[in-house]
Amino acid sequence: MIQKDTIAAQVTYPGKSSVGIIRISGINTKKVAIKILGKIPKPRFATYSKFLNENNQILDHGISLWFPAPFSFTGEDILELQGHGSPFIMDLLMKRILSVKNTRLAKPGEFCERAFLNGKIDLIQAEAIDDLINSETESMVKASLNSLQGNFSYYIHNLVKTLIKFRVDIESSIDFSEEEINFNFDDIIDNNFQKLNNQFSKIQKIITNKSIVREAKKIIIVGPPNAGKSSLLNILSSYNRAIVTNIPGTTRDLIHEHININGFLCEIIDTAGFHDTQDKIEKIGINRAWETIKTSDHILFVIDKTISVESQRKISNEFIKKVRSYNNSIQITFVLNKNDLLKDDFGVKKIENFNFISISALTGQGIDTLKKYLVKIENNKEKEGLFIARRRHVHQIELSYSQFLKAKQHWLKYKNIELLAESLSLINRLIGEITGSFTSNDLLNRIFSTFCIGK
């Protein structure tokens, strides 16, 4: 994709430093090279050069690097000028570069955006570059590098390949009459469904076990009214963020709080208590809580432990059943609150694959155990082959997988091939948004505007 503007930016940090680097990319880069260097340097070679002003006097000496299109990061002609890192020299050089027609300052992330638009990298890799720059730990660096090398994209591309083959099988059959269709057609469809299902499950598994989500982990607190949800938010965030009363229905909307639990950043969301209510506002609050569950990483389901064990079982089982129809991969932990009123032990118990943690949000007993447990879940991930994922990717996989399950259900019920073709095309578009093969300009702008200038 040819862009008419040539872009330029200082890629090193502004301010005094030993070296300052300016990058120029676009169709007029040759003109910039001739204007500043008097010639086009040898491709991919470090050339010691004089940087000239309009009177051909020397502005600075430095290294010039020339990467002709399409063998450059952006896929366009790129010139890099490495001069002395004086803000004054950098400023004079930039002015000189920008005096070339149709050359302007690059917007944040615009070099990455051009690399993406020219098919040099996919969207996951472009985001990995930004993640790499913003990494704060060694494992974040490794995970970003893995994503940049295409480790995550590989799984998505394979999924798309299988999906496209399925679509070809389906679309080609639409043009034939029933008699002409291969008698094994149902088997072919079943086979394709099976293959796609396996690939979706594999991706969900690696997202759960091997991905570091760059944004804060989203932990949602839900449960019946008066179980102690707001008290739990308050004690985790160490201040009285939510109003606590013994009046059911006090929290009606979502309350978000960003907290740091032993060095691990998370967003905790307190919600309206789940129960049958006629109160219009409470109803909206409960619906919002269910909507938010879809995009959360972890649910803390709070139960008042002073109610009978049978009631606890009933509430937890009903919740598990319902939540699985919303979000299949979300982690669920049951928090048995108000343990201070009982003589039971504090701590974690595992019952049928679920963890139950006894605490008191009033006295703070068991809270340290809960915090350590939350951090442990994050740290338990297999360290080798970790990659970085953004919430956008996780959400898009969830969305496309639930569409896939719906498509399968509809197929089994109606055996309607046109409907199946439509659904597969929608799933293709949803997955395509992850790598950027189907992406609106609006989404691209949102993604690249968060990058830094010069990237």
Q: Apex CA 446: angle with CA 444 and CA 449, to 5°? A: 100
Interaction of residue 453 with ligand GDP, rule CB under 6 A: no
The verdict on whether residue 108 carries a ligand-binding annotation is no
Among candidates 145, 142, 139, 104, which has minimal Cα distance to 127? 145
- Cβ atoms of residues 277 and 391 within 8 Å: no
Tell me: does residue 428 bind ligand GDP (CB under 6 A): no
Q: Which is nearer to ligand GDP, 327 or 337 (CB)?
A: 337
Residue of 77, 80, 282, 340 that binds ligand GDP (CB under 6 A): 340
Nearest distance in Å: CB 236, ligand GDP: 12
Q: What is the nearest approach in angstroms of ligand GDP to the Cβ of residue 291?
A: 19
Q: Between 76 and 340, whose beta carbon lies closer to ligand GDP? A: 340
Q: Is 327 within any annotated ligand binding site?
A: no
- Residue 271 in the binding site for ligand GDP (CB under 6 A): no
Tell the burial category of 167 from Cβ atoms under 10 Å away from its Cβ (0-12, 13-18, 19+): middle
Query: Is 250 known to sit in a ligand binding site?
Result: yes
Closer residue to ligand GDP (CB): 267 or 422 = 267
Closest CA to 145 of 155, 123, 130: 130
Task: Tell me which stretch binds ligand GDP (CB under 6 A): 81-89, 135-143, 338-346, 427-435.
Answer: 338-346
**In this structure, are residues 47 and 65 in contact, taking their beta carbons and an 8 Å threshold?**
yes
Backbone angles phi and psi of 100, in degrees to 5: -75, 135
Q: Is 17 helix (H, G, I), strand (E, B) or coil?
A: strand
Q: Is 317 annotated as a binding residue?
A: no
E strand intervals along 26-114:
47-52, 58-67, 78-85, 103-105
Q: Which is nearer to ligand GDP, 212 or 244 (CB)?
A: 244
> CB nearest ligand GDP: which residue?
228
* Closest separation in Å from C-beta 233 to ligand GDP: 8
- What does R_g of the chain's alpha carbons equal in angstroms? 28
For ligand GDP, the binding residue among 250, 403, 425, 439 (CB under 6 A) is 250
Helix axes 151-174, 123-133, angle to 10 degrees: 160
- The amino acid present at 364, given as its one-letter code, is G
Q: Does 361 bind ligand GDP (CB under 6 A)?
A: yes
In the complex, least distance from residue 253 CB atom to ligand GDP, rounded to whole angstroms: 12
As to burial, measured by CB atoms within 10 angstroms (0-12 exposed, 13-18 middle, 19+ buried), residue 161 is exposed
Is residue 285 within the footprint of ligand GDP (CB under 6 A)? no
Query: Does residue 246 interact with ligand GDP by CB under 6 A?
Result: yes
To the nearest whole angstrom, how small is the minimum distance from the Cβ of residue 299 to ligand GDP? 14
Is 249 assigned a ligand-binding role in the annotation? Answer: yes
- Collapsing DSSP to helix, strand or coil, 108 comes out as coil
- Give yes or no for a contact between 97 and 52, defined as CB atoms under 8 angstroms apart: no
358 in contact with ligand GDP (CB under 6 A): no
For residues 369 and 348, is the Cβ–Cβ distance under 8 A? yes
Q: Which of residues 202-241 bind ligand GDP (CB under 6 A)?
A: 225-231
- How many CB atoms lie under 10 A from the CB of residue 364? 11
Which member of 140, 320, 362, 399 binds ligand GDP (CB under 6 A)?
362
Select 75 or 273, whichever has its Cβ closest to ligand GDP: 273
Task: Identify whether 43 is preceded by a cis peptide bond (ω within 30 of 0).
Answer: no
Tokens of 50: 């004089």
Task: Provide, rounded to whole angstroms, the least separation between the CB of residue 282 and ligand GDP.
Answer: 11
With contacts defined by CB under 6 A, how many residues of the chain interact with ligand GDP? 20
Find the DSSP H helices in 305-344: 309-324
Per CB under 6 A, contacts with ligand GDP among 36-95 are none
Binding status of residue 360 toward ligand GDP by CB under 6 A: yes
Is residue 177 helix, strand or coil? coil
**Least Å distance between CB 246 and ligand GDP?**
4
| Residues of the binding site | 23, 80, 120, 226-231, 245-251, 270-273, 455
| Residue list for the binding site for K(+) | 226, 245, 247, 250
Q: Name the residues that contact ligand GDP, by CB under 6 A.
A: 225-231, 244-246, 250-251, 273, 337-338, 340-341, 360-362
